[in-house]
């Protein structure tokens, strides 16, 4: 039977180390979501498995997306770059529409698709990786020119800033700026423009951070959470108490008490604190090591694509690394009090369907790149280049 044109032609093995780490993190996340959410679920719905059941469905869907996307021909995604970017912009605007848009605690970040809720900012991150990677490759040397290379990017970032900050979703916009900056720098943007853009972006994000009273309160609370332990510093104080209770080996899986209405967002943004309490420093370090190994494998896959001359997918892999590794570092930093309190999900662990599915879609494309450029092919490309230059 003939394969469809969009199905992967190369049948080489995917990066098995990365594949199994993703699967382990998905399974571990399911266990921890149940442990962290059971008291809240029992209190709010009468069913202790309420959030765990939904996370199980999300995990199964994410695993299916991971496999499916790892088998799609890479040329397909280059053709889908602009349609996906257009779709992401459309869905970002639709969150403000009545009935379709869903407001939770004053934030307009979700679309009601009847069966599930979609968070368009997660679709945007996937589309943005494709869009910026293609833009950088096509512009080439023009990237360093303000009018031809940078103004279109500034316009896109400005539009995304309006759509995301009106929701408001400050964390997603910060990640968008970070991904864009990293890919532009790796794509050859001159250092002077990188420094200038960094200063402008940092100043703008800093202004936005202090312009809203609740953001300013989080920054001041981050500096000294114990100054207001029952107000702005409450989340961070409870998180630090959870880590303190856990010690080195933890109190035991399922035996933590901070999730019993002491620690807000215990199964989403602050799930690492529950892990620290129940599994201790050992559990947190084991998780950090898994993230580090996965990040290293993504980097190596990008290096192999670059060695083979595929700048588009090399940049895509580096952008995926920025998203995956960046959110892991930011989430851990917030939970440990090293960064101001802000909502960053722990990748593949925290509760949430959109984040889980679209991150697995991105990692699936990375696995497809690993199929096209296995280590043996990369070694041959390097040897050929050495012979040509020798």
DSSP one-letter string for 286-298: HHHHHHHHHHHHH
Measure the N-to-C terminal CA separation of the chain; round to a whole number of Å: 45
- Write down the pLDDT at residue 281: 96
User: Looking at the DSSP assignment, which residues form a beta bridge with residue 103?
Assistant: 108
Residue 239 lies in a domain: yes
Specify the number of domains making up the chain: 1
State how far Cα 179 lies from the chain centre.
Answer: 10
CB of 277 closer than 8 Å to CB of 283: no
Cis, bond preceding 90 (omega within 30 deg of 0): no
- Give me the residue label for tokens 């790149």: 369
CB of 367 closer than 8 Å to CB of 70: yes
- Write down the pLDDT at residue 386: 44
State how far Cα 129 lies from the chain centre.
Answer: 11
CB of 146 closer than 8 Å to CB of 138: no
Residue 329 lies in a domain: yes
Measure the CA–CA gap between 386 and 390, rounded to whole angstroms: 6
- Write down the pLDDT at residue 381: 52
Mean pLDDT by 10 residues, the chain (390 residues): 55 86 96 95 93 95 95 90 94 87 78 83 94 89 71 85 84 88 86 72 67 66 77 87 94 93 90 96 97 97 95 96 96 89 88 94 96 75 46
Residue 9 lies in a domain: no
State how far Cα 261 lies from the chain centre.
Answer: 27
Residue 82 lies in a domain: yes
Residue 1 lies in a domain: no
Question: Can you give the length of the chain in residues?
Answer: 390
Residue 28 lies in a domain: yes
Measure the CA–CA gap between 7 and 239, rounded to whole angstroms: 46
Residue 330 lies in a domain: yes
Measure the CA–CA gap between 381 and 369, rounded to whole angstroms: 15
Residue 262 lies in a domain: yes
Question: Measuring CA to CA, which residue among 278, 350, 321, 378 is closest to residue 178?
Answer: 321
Measure the CA–CA gap between 159 and 157, rounded to whole angstroms: 5
Query: Cα–Cα distances in Å, from 184 out to 69, 132, 197, 339?
Result: 25, 8, 10, 25
**Domain range holding 186?**
16-389
- Write down the pLDDT at residue 290: 97
Give residues with Cβ within 8 angstroms of 176, minimum separation 6. Answer: 124, 125, 128, 157, 160, 164
- Write down the pLDDT at residue 25: 97
């Amino acid at each position: 039977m003939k394969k469809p044109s969009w199905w992967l032609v190369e049948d080489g093995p995917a990066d098995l180390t990365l594949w199994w780490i993703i699967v382990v993190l998905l399974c571990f996340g399911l266990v921890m979501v149940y442990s962290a959410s059971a008291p809240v679920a029992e209190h709010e719905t009468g069913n202790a498995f309420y959030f765990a059941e939904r996370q199980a469905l999300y995990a199964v869907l994410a695993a299916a997306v991971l496999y499916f996307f790892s088998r799609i021909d890479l040329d397909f995604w280059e053709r889908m770059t602009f349609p996906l970017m257009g779709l992401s912009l459309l869905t970002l605007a639709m969150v403000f529409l009545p009935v379709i848009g869903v407001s939770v605690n004053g934030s307009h970040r979700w679309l009601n698709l009847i069966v599930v809720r979609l968070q368009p900012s997660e679709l945007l991150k996937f589309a943005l990786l494709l869009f910026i990677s293609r833009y950088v490759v096509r512009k080439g040397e023009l990237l360093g020119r303000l009018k031809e290379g940078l103004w279109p990017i500034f316009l896109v970032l400005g539009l995304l800033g309006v759509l995301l900050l009106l929701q408001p979703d400050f964390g997603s916009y910060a990640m968008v700026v970070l991904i864009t900056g990293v890919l532009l720098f790796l794509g050859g943007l001159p250092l002077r423009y990188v420094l200038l853009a960094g200063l402008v972006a940092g100043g703008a994000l800093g202004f936005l951070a202090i312009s809203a009273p609740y953001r300013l309160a989080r920054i001041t609370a981050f500096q000294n959470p114990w100054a207001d332990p029952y107000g702005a510093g409450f989340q961070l104080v409870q998180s630090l108490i959870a880590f303190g209770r856990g010690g080195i080996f933890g109190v035991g899986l399922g035996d933590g008490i901070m999730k019993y209405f002491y620690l807000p967002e215990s199964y989403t943004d602050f799930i690492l604190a529950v892990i620290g309490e129940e599994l201790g420093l050992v559990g947190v370090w084991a998780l950090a090591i898994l993230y580090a190994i996965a990040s290293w494998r993504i980097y190596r896959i990008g290096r192999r694509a670059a060695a083979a001359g595929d700048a588009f997918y090399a940049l895509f892999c580096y952008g995926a690394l920025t998203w995956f590794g960046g959110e892991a570092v930011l989430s851990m930093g917030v939970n440990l009090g090293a960064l101001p309190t802000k909502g960053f999900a722990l990748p593949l662990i925290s509760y949430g369907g959109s984040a889980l599915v679209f991150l697995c879609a991105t990692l699936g494309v990375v696995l497809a790149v690993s199929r096209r450029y296995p280590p043996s092919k990369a070694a041959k490309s390097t040897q050929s280049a050495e012979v040509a230059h020798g």
